[in-house]
Copies of this chain bind each other. A is one copy, B any other.
Amino acid sequence: MSDTHILALDEAFDFAVRVLETNGFAPDHARAISRTIWACQRDECHSHGLYRLLVCVHTLKSGKVSPDARPVITDVAPGLVRADARGAYSLLAYETGREVLIEKARKTGLAALAINHCYHFSALWPEVEAIANEGLVAMAMTPSHAWVAPHGGTKGVFGTNPLAFAWPRPNGNPFVFDFATSAAARGEIELHRRAGKPIPEGWGLNRDGLPTTDPTEAMNGAMLTFGGHKGSALSAMIELMAGPMIGDLLSLESMAYDKGAGATPYHGELILAFDPKIFMGAEHAVHSSRAEALFDAILGQGARLPSQRRYEARARNTASNAISIPRQLHEQLTAMLDPETASRPF
């Protein structure tokens, strides 16, 4: 018997929705969450794929997240819309606020969507990619939990603080990146721990503030930012803009709020959208094709664009209409479709 289970694309999406609905999520939340989890699985971002259904249901059963709160959208200013998730996952708030964000950016040139009071677990690239698919340039950022030490320090202050960016291209997929400002994702350190492997130097410090290659010591000590003092500065920017600037929690505060429950972090998210048609003006097509010269210069010397591997996986899995997940994960999730199992606390 194979170690993987194969689902058709539509089947995988419906499966995710059913797991979430059976376990208590309202239909619109189940669909919003499934859209991002499904997209990650299709693109073979396994750590943000169908496996996250387990985490979503665990967090719901721990009583932390709202399964059905309706996001409240507030038109704060010509350039700013607020989507209050009211204790639910971020994704329905994102989807509901996105339309207003895009409409605003098309009027003012640029606009911001502040998502507040949300539980947050999702990759940011599907969010910026969706905005680029509407012809806009997009940037997104969030704090998380205070696991990451500032440059020159030894104690966690920053979250893994991802930054994502998308640029629409006249033909084909947008230019997209989405990276953690920590040297490694927390999940990568956890994978090393489970595999009994040391982590590379530069990923973490032990409780005494000394460099360590022991994954458990790094998880209990502090993670490090990428790129030394520059990565640390960038992480501080994300912390400030997607935290206090939008009136939401710092990674330090989000961690304190969790009280050691190990639930999904609870904080805010900031998304910016820029309308290149307004910025570029009448010569929009000319400037847009000039941007292509940058991509040509990168690809022409054998280097890759940030999302290239992901887009290749997407093309392959879309052509074969097949999404593979580990058989064990499929069995775990299938068991969660049983109403009796679903009604039990996790």
Residue among A146, A163, A165 with max Cβ neighbours from chain B (10 Å): A165
The residue on B at minimum CB distance from A279 is B245
Q: How large is the interface on A (under 10, 10 to 19, 20 to 34, 35 or more residues)?
A: 35 or more
B177-A233 in contact (CB<8A): yes
Is A196 an interface residue when CB atoms closer than 8 A count as contact? no
Residue among A151, A244, A272 with max Cβ neighbours from chain B (10 Å): A244
Within 8 A of B (CB), among A152-198: 152-155, 157, 163, 165, 167, 175, 177, 179, 181
Copies in the complex: 2
Residue among A175, A231, A279 with max Cβ neighbours from chain B (10 Å): A279
The residue on B at minimum CB distance from A233 is B177
Provided the pairs A152-B304, A230-B231, A290-B244 are in contact, do residues A79 and B79 lie with their beta carbons within 8 angstroms? Answer: yes
Residues of B contacting A319 in the complex (Cβ-Cβ under 8 angstroms): none
A250-B293 in contact (CB<8A): yes
Q: For residue A325, give the distance in angstroms from its CB to the closest CB of chain B.
A: 27
Binds B, one of A11-19, A21-29, A43-51, A295-303: A295-303
Residues of B contacting A303 in the complex (Cβ-Cβ under 8 angstroms): 149-153
Q: For residue A255, give the distance in angstroms from its CB to the closest CB of chain B.
A: 11
Q: For residue A280, give the distance in angstroms from its CB to the closest CB of chain B.
A: 5
Complex Cα gap A288–B250 (Å) = 12
Provided the pairs A109-B80, A151-B303, A245-B287 are in contact, do residues A294 and B240 lie with their beta carbons within 8 angstroms? Answer: yes
Residues of B contacting A177 in the complex (Cβ-Cβ under 8 angstroms): 233, 236-237
Within 8 A of B (CB), among A90-145: 107-112, 114, 137, 139
